[in-house]
Amino acid sequence: MAKGSVDRRDFLKGAAVTSAAALVPGAIPGSAAAEPPQAAPAAQSPGTAAIAAREADPAVDVEALTTDRPGGDFMVDVLKSLNFDYIASNPGSSFRGIHESIINYGNNTKPEFITCCHEESSVAMAHAYFKVEGKPMAVLCHGTVGLQHAAMAIYNAYCDRVPVYILAGNSLDATMRRPGVEWAHSVQDAASMVRDFIKWDDTPASLPHFAESAVRAYKIAMTPPMMPVVVVIDGELQEDPIAPEIAGRLRVPKLTTATPPQGDSGAVAEAARLLVNAQNPVIVADRLARTPAGMTRLMELAEALQAPVIDQHGRMNFPSSHPLNQSESGGPLIANADVILGLELTDFWGTVSAFRDSLHRSSRSRIKAGTRLISITATDLFSKSNFQDFQRYPEVDVAMAADAEATLPALTEAVRKLVTDDRRRAFQERRTRFEQAHAREREAARTEAAVAWDASPISTARMAAEIWAQIKNEDWSLVSESGNSSGWAFRLWDFQKHYQHLGDSGGAGVGYGAPAAVGGALANKKYGRLSVNIQGDGDLLYAPGVLWTAAHHKIPLLTVMHNNRAYHQEIMHLQRMANRHQRGITRAHIGTTIDNPNVDFAKLAQGLGVYAEGPIANARDLGPALQRALAVVKKGEPALVDVVTQPR
Amino acid sequence: MKMLMLPAALVFATAIGFAQAPAPATQPATAGNAETGKKLFVSYGCWQCHGYEGQGGAAGPRLAPRTLPLANFSRYVRRPTNQMPPYTAKVVPDSDLEHIHAYLMSRPAPPAASSIPLLK
């Protein structure tokens, strides 16, 4: 590795001497570097003495103790060129060089350092941030420990096809590592810890190499299917002065993101022919809308066909009040369809199949014989084998390995060209039927929400209705919904804009909800939107420190606890097993509930600097509590209301 | 890590199975005791999927206030055709099932949505 006249070895020796001197009573820190190291006095504890002796051991051959231009500064230049607004991190010594460059050389803007209490929080924040803002947030992870803490959240982002830009600190040169902890935090191949569930990684060996890899990583992450990337940043590269022999050739490469791949024109024409001629076409969308244009394009296609849309809610794909939104009637529509168009479906097989989780697992097709299936998904362009998030193999008739959002304009245009007057009349009749069905469903939702209206614990329908009453006249965004509240928000609220729902975690790893809410709220902050989070109790207990992050950085966010005092999905699994074995279910709470003692989430949040109220178990108390919390959020701070709820 | 949600397909199947079965115009009398049934509804964990009031949700369909006749109700509980786990007589005796059915039958009709300001 190229070195300047002052290398890290010399710097560390100087620092070591300073440290040793500072441990000695009477030493003057400012002049310590010029003095010979002194042995620790006998009165010191053995541990302190050993550290002092070890730090003082190297001979002093210091040529210079400072530099004005460390490699980390250039790394910040590169990050600024990529237009990151934020970089989230729990601090760690393996990236102390670039950390210092970010806050001082970079003036802590673009990117601004966001202090997190867990790397899983950093990555999950970046995950949801992207789904609001449409551009990645950077994350710094500390060596072996930080990247392993981050791993589950990285896996969620991978499954959810979301780009997260991860910089991982490491110390490659074993002879340059500080004795002790730095060895435990160093690794030969850092990215190997997560390589199975990221799209690309590199370990640059020089600053020019870093520049190219940093820009390349951004481009790869942003090309559908989007996924996390990792660039390992060596400690010496960050901390050493920029060597004169490379200073002149340092440059930031131009970033040109790739245009998303469109479907083949022949396949688009075939899909259009099938859809126009179908009697009962159905459109199913999951991770379709990766930009605000996605929802508009889907509406254009649906209205060109007057075909029903089933939104599987991987993204904000389709307005909930649109009469062609038939998401609540998905089962019968699938069963009756003659053509099904799947747009970025996570699980096409599961969409058209029924699976029974009984003693003898079984499955059956849910579609009629002869139903034609059309798939458009960028996931067909990039697959990995070890982690099995790719689901059962779907037997489709037309498979476009392409980005669905990019393909929709061509497909809609092809559909419009094929529509005859006869078909248009049939389409209009279809539209009328679905308008009526949509109105019936909205009315049914209100009727069903009234059941258990005053119950305690509070029904999830009542909770959703109470929240909606407070936010419906605001520019709101449901940034996260963990814990499964039976989809009441979709049935009772009016979702119209792309940022009003962000989908879920992707990998179903519990612990995503709370940090995702904070990340989404961070993205919404500059737009003045009201961010709302329906928060599962089990999810928040994974890493509640993210509430402190929201308070510290003054991120406005209304969190409403869906506190059913259990890992409820697991209770049901235990019930299933106990019934299957005919042992009764009276012990299914063991290992699955979060009570005895009940968690006081209001006190937890208050301790982390967040305004909070609760627990609230009486439905009549909920509205006023939400109003008070909302007043705090409107002042630019987070607030939490703990609601004791029915299970689902 | 845990799986949080049933796949959408399974939810569809579950929802079809129970709540949408038409209720008879007049409910037959039942031999069970509603108060006893309420306690059993809790102790057997029926509420875990169906809610304390039998109102239903993503995990299990609505059971009240419209409830299947006891014979149909018992048949389904013993040999469910969808995602619900089977509750055999060894786990839930017939008499307990009658009490639970009585509890569900006793649930009052909800207020009209039009009478609730938040649902208008």
Give which of A363, A579, A626 to mutate to test B binding, by max B Cβ within 10 Å: A579
pLDDT, greater one: A12 or A628: A628
Using DSSP, state whether A344 is helix, strand or coil: coil
pLDDT band at A8, cuts 50/70/90?
A: very low
Q: What is the predicted pLDDT for the residue at A311?
A: 98
Helix (DSSP H) and strand (DSSP E) numbers for chain B: 5, 0
pLDDT band at A22, cuts 50/70/90?
A: very low
Task: State mean pLDDT over A334-353.
Answer: 98
Q: What is the predicted pLDDT for the residue at B69?
A: 95
Residue A325 is classified by DSSP as: B
Residue A4 has pLDDT above 60, yes or no: no
Residue A575 has pLDDT above 50, yes or no: yes
Q: What is the predicted pLDDT for the residue at A57?
A: 58
- Distance to chain A for B74, nearest Cα, Å: 15
- Supply the angle between the helices A292-305 and A404-418 in degrees, to the nearest 10: 20
Contact B16 A588 (CB under 8 A): no
- Distance to chain A for B63, nearest Cα, Å: 11
Contact B15 A331 (CB under 8 A): yes
pLDDT in tens, A151-181: 999 999 999 999 999 999 999 999 999 999 9
Of the given ranges (A179-183, A315-319, B19-23, B105-109), which has the lowest mean pLDDT? B19-23
What ipTM, to 2 d.p.?
0.82
Domain A71-247 CATH class label: alpha beta
- Distance to chain A for B36, nearest Cα, Å: 17
Instruction: Give the chain B residue whose CA is nearest to the CA of A359.
Output: B85
Residue A341 has pLDDT above 50, yes or no: yes
Q: What is the predicted pLDDT for the residue at A584?
A: 84
pLDDT in tens, A34-73: 333 343 333 444 445 544 555 555 555 567 899 999 999 9
Answer for the pair B18, B61: CB distance below 8 angstroms, yes or no: yes
Answer yes or no: CATH 1.10.760.10 is held by domain B30-108: yes
Contact B47 A647 (CB under 8 A): yes
Residue A87 has pLDDT above 80, yes or no: yes
Residue B104 has pLDDT above 80, yes or no: yes
Q: What is the predicted pLDDT for the residue at A49?
A: 53
Q: What is the predicted pLDDT for the residue at B83?
A: 82
Residue A540 has pLDDT above 60, yes or no: yes
pLDDT band at B3, cuts 50/70/90?
A: very low
- A71-247 and A450-644: identical CATH topology: yes
Which residues from chain B sit within 8 angstroms of residue A355, using beta carbons?
Answer: 7, 9-10
**Topology of domain A265-444, per CATH?**
Rossmann fold (3.40.50)
Q: What is the predicted pLDDT for the residue at B29?
A: 56
CATH number for the domain running over A450-644: 3.40.50.970
- Residue (of A305, A391, A464) closest to B8 by Cα position: A391
Q: Verify cis geometry, omega within 30 degrees of 0, for the bond prior to A597.
A: yes
Residue A646 has pLDDT above 90, yes or no: yes
Task: State mean pLDDT over A477-490.
Answer: 94
Domain spans in chain A, listed from the N-terminal domain onward: 8-56, 71-247, 265-444, 450-644
The Cα–Cα gap between A548 and A550 comes to 5
Contact B48 A448 (CB under 8 A): no
Task: State mean pLDDT over B40-49.
Answer: 92
Q: What is the predicted pLDDT for the residue at A591?
A: 95
Which residues from chain A sit within 8 angstroms of residue B48, using beta carbons?
Answer: 568, 571-572, 575, 588, 647
pLDDT band at A481, cuts 50/70/90?
A: very high
Answer for the pair A462, A274: CB distance below 8 angstroms, yes or no: no
Q: What is the predicted pLDDT for the residue at A333?
A: 98
pLDDT in tens, A610-625: 999 999 999 999 999 9
- Distance to chain A for B28, nearest Cα, Å: 22
Give which of A451, A480, A587, A593 to mutate to test B binding, by max B Cβ within 10 Å: A451
Mean pLDDT of all residues belonging to chain A: 92
pLDDT band at A387, cuts 50/70/90?
A: very high
Give which of B10, B40, B55 to mutate to test A binding, by max A Cβ within 10 Å: B55
Contact A646 B57 (CB under 8 A): yes
Instruction: Give the chain A residue whose CA is nearest to the CA of B88.
Output: A582
Place of tokens 């569809």: B12
Q: Verify cis geometry, omega within 30 degrees of 0, for the bond prior to A615.
A: yes
Residue A29 has pLDDT above 90, yes or no: no
| B:91-120 residues touching chain A, CB 8 A cutoff | 91, 110-113, 116, 118-119
A562 touches chain B (CB under 8 A): no
Residue A504 gets the label, from left (phi > 0), alpha (psi -120 to 50) or beta, of beta
Residue B58 has pLDDT above 70, yes or no: yes
Task: State mean pLDDT over A441-465.
Answer: 96
Q: What is the predicted pLDDT for the residue at A293?
A: 97
Of the given ranges (A7-21, A138-152, A259-273), which has the lowest mean pLDDT? A7-21
Which residues from chain B sit within 8 angstroms of residue A448, using beta carbons?
Answer: 55-56, 62
Answer for the pair A516, A542: CB distance below 8 angstroms, yes or no: no
Rounded-to-5 percentages of helix, strand, coil across chain A: 45, 15, 40
The Cα–Cα gap between A344 and A380 comes to 10
Tokens of A417: 């060209």
The DSSP annotation for A560-581 comes to: EEEE-SB-HHHHHHHHHHHHHT
Give which of B11, B12, B40 to mutate to test A binding, by max A Cβ within 10 Å: B12
Q: What is the predicted pLDDT for the residue at A59?
A: 57
Which residues from chain B sit within 8 angstroms of residue A648, using beta carbons?
Answer: 49, 51, 57-60
Contact A465 B59 (CB under 8 A): no
Q: What is the predicted pLDDT for the residue at A207?
A: 97
The helix or strand, by DSSP H or E, that contains position B103, with its residue range, turns out to be: helix B94-106
B47 touches chain A (CB under 8 A): yes
Residue A554 has pLDDT above 60, yes or no: yes
Which residues from chain B sit within 8 angstroms of residue A452, using beta carbons?
Answer: 51-53, 55, 110
A527 touches chain B (CB under 8 A): no
Answer for the pair A35, A21: CB distance below 8 angstroms, yes or no: yes
Give which of A389, A453, A505, A567 to mutate to test B binding, by max B Cβ within 10 Å: A453
Domain spans in chain B, listed from the N-terminal domain onward: 30-108
Q: What is the predicted pLDDT for the residue at B66?
A: 84
A443, A457, A580: residue with CB nearest B85:
A580
Give percent above pLDDT 70 in chain A: 90
Q: Verify cis geometry, omega within 30 degrees of 0, for the bond prior to B80.
A: no
Which residues from chain B sit within 8 angstroms of residue A443, using beta carbons?
Answer: 113
Task: State mean pLDDT over A227-251.
Answer: 96
The Cα–Cα gap between A643 and A470 comes to 15
pLDDT band at B39, cuts 50/70/90?
A: very high
pLDDT band at B13, cuts 50/70/90?
A: very low
Task: State mean pLDDT over A534-561.
Answer: 98
The Cα–Cα gap between A95 and A10 comes to 19
A572 touches chain B (CB under 8 A): yes
The Cα–Cα gap between B40 and B37 comes to 5
Contact B13 A461 (CB under 8 A): no
Tokens of A134: 């449409």
pLDDT band at B12, cuts 50/70/90?
A: very low
